[in-house]
């Protein structure tokens, strides 16, 4: 097998053949069944992803098509391959998108105390759960664990250590799964305390939400940013994010889904716009639904870095680059470094329009080369043009 040799060219050749033959004849020719887990999406049309990859292998010079039993069709093989080539992969049964998650999070109705203070139980509980997902902890936790750990988290950030209330409220909002008998009582009075004490229900984020914030860097950034922007602007949100484990440098990194988990990936333009909206910070005024604006350094910086790498499509953005490394990292990513065109120490903003993806050689020239000032001027133009080109699509 030569799956790693496949490029967009071979995939698109197989897609064209699929279009000529139709789904039934194509699947019969190559011996594949219909997709059960996820599809490849090209120009709005869906294709049986594993069959497309198997057929595309036959378009490599000197290679034969692969049969269904020759390779795994899981997320770690076909899903990762197609996503790495820039294709959109979606669930055969549609799952939660990042935009839909942001809408859900932005529609919470946190309780207000008799004095008018907005109580932060629900936003804090969600960030605590997002942090658990990012650390790859189990989706569902025993109530004894949630009661202790979440209760301490709430207390550290100014709320009463009573997780019964936010968990019940989030359950009724469709953002928390709970075991135990039904119905779950409303999130007020003594009823939730009695219900949780009697039933000790396991609980956690619904599977689509958990999978999105665990495996998708875009989803994790957007979810955390939506919570901060909507509910925590007057709180010490940087301390809260750090305590939840969402202020690390890997907060924007994707993880390869395990098993049959499929995470819906946003189209490039949509993801880029969303990341740029996070990167603008709170000083630029209002936002549209699904595009949070925040002032938290780590989320702003990491969203901007991710956007620049997305824009680069895996290649050095210096038009004078004489050769980027052909090797890749252990995670399968191109060897690129995202840099502020104007040095961060000199006021370079954390925004993709003024950041650039460079190979290590070009990064050194920009930093220490004799021509660095001329190069910096050229890179400002390149970054702005590439930024505006994506936004105008």
Quickly count: other Cβ atoms within 10 Å of residue 350's Cβ. 21
The DSSP secondary-structure symbol of 142 reads -
How far is the CA of 59 from the CAs of 15, 27, 73, 119, 254, in angstroms? 11, 16, 19, 59, 30
CA 75 – CA 53 distance, rounded (Å):
13
Instruction: List per-residue pLDDT tens for the chain, 393 residues long.
Output: 688 899 999 999 999 999 999 988 999 999 988 776 668 888 878 888 899 999 999 999 999 999 988 887 665 578 778 877 888 776 655 568 899 899 999 988 888 878 888 889 999 999 999 999 999 999 999 999 999 999 999 999 999 999 999 999 999 888 998 987 878 899 989 999 999 999 999 999 988 899 999 999 999 999 999 999 999 988 998 999 999 999 998 999 998 887 767 788 888 999 999 999 986 643 333 333 344 444 457 888 999 999 999 999 999 999 999 988 888 887 778 899 999 998 765 556 789 999 999 999 999 999 999 999 999 999 999 999 999 999 998
> Residue 140 contacts by C-beta under 8 Å, 6 or more apart in sequence?
177, 179, 202, 203, 204
> Residue 42: its pLDDT value, please?
87
Report how far residue 142's alpha carbon sits from residue 144's, in angstroms, rounded to the nearest whole number: 5
Q: For the chain, what is the radius of gyration of the CA atoms?
A: 23
SS3 call for 216: coil
Contact 300, 114 (CB under 8 A): no
How far is it, in rounded angstroms, from Cα 384 to Cα 382?
6
CA 62 – CA 79 distance, rounded (Å): 24
Q: Using alpha carbons only, what angle is made at residue 238 by residues 235 and 272, rounded to the nearest 5 degrees?
A: 110
- What is the token pair recorded at 353? 């329009």
In 3D space, the residue among 3, 79, 69 whose CA is nearest the CA of residue 38 turns out to be: 79
């Amino acid at each position: 097998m030569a799956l790693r040799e496949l490029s967009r060219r071979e995939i698109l050749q197989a897609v064209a053949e699929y279009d000529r033959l139709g789904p039934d004849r194509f699947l019969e020719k190559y011996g594949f069944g219909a997709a059960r887990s996820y599809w490849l999406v090209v120009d709005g049309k869906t294709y049986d992803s594993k069959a497309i990859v198997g057929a595309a292998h036959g378009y490599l010079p000197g290679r034969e098509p692969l049969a269904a039993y020759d390779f795994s069709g899981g997320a770690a093989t076909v899903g990762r391959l197609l996503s790495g080539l820039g294709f959109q992969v979606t669930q055969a049964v549609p799952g939660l998108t990042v935009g839909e998650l942001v809408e859900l999070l932005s529609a919470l109705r946190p309780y207000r105390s008799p004095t008018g203070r907005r109580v932060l139980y629900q936003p804090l509980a969600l960030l605590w759960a997002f942090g658990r997902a990012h650390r790859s902890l189990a989706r569902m936790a025993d109530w004894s664990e949630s009661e202790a750990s979440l209760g301490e988290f709430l207390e550290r950030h100014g709320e009463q250590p009573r997780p019964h209330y936010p968990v019940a409220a989030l359950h009724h909002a469709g953002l928390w799964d709970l075991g135990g008998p039904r119905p779950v009582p409303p999130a007020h009075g003594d009823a939730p305390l009695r219900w949780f004490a009697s039933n000790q229900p396991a609980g956690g984020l619904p599977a689509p939400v958990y999978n999105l914030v665990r495996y998708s860097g875009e989803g994790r950034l957007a979810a955390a940013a939506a919570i901060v922007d909507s509910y925590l602007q007057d709180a010490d949100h940087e301390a809260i994010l750090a305590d939840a484990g969402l202020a690390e440098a890997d907060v924007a990194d994707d993880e390869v889904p395990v098993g049959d988990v499929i995470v819906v990936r946003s189209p490039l333009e949509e993801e880029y716009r969303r990341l740029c909206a996070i990167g603008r910070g709170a000083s630029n005024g209002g936002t549209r639904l699904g595009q949070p604006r925040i002032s938290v350094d780590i989320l702003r910086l990491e969203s901007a870095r991710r956007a620049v790498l997305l824009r680069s499509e895996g290649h050095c953005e210096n038009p004078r680059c004489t050769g980027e490394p052909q090797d890749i990292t252990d995670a399968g990513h191109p060897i690129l470094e995202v840099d502020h065109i104007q040095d961060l120490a000199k006021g370079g903003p954390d925004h993709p329009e003024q950041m650039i993806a460079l190979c290590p050689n070009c990064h050194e020239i920009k930093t220490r080369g004799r021509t660095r000032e001329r190069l910096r001027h050229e890179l400002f133009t390149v970054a702005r043009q590439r930024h505006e080109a994506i936004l105008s699509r």
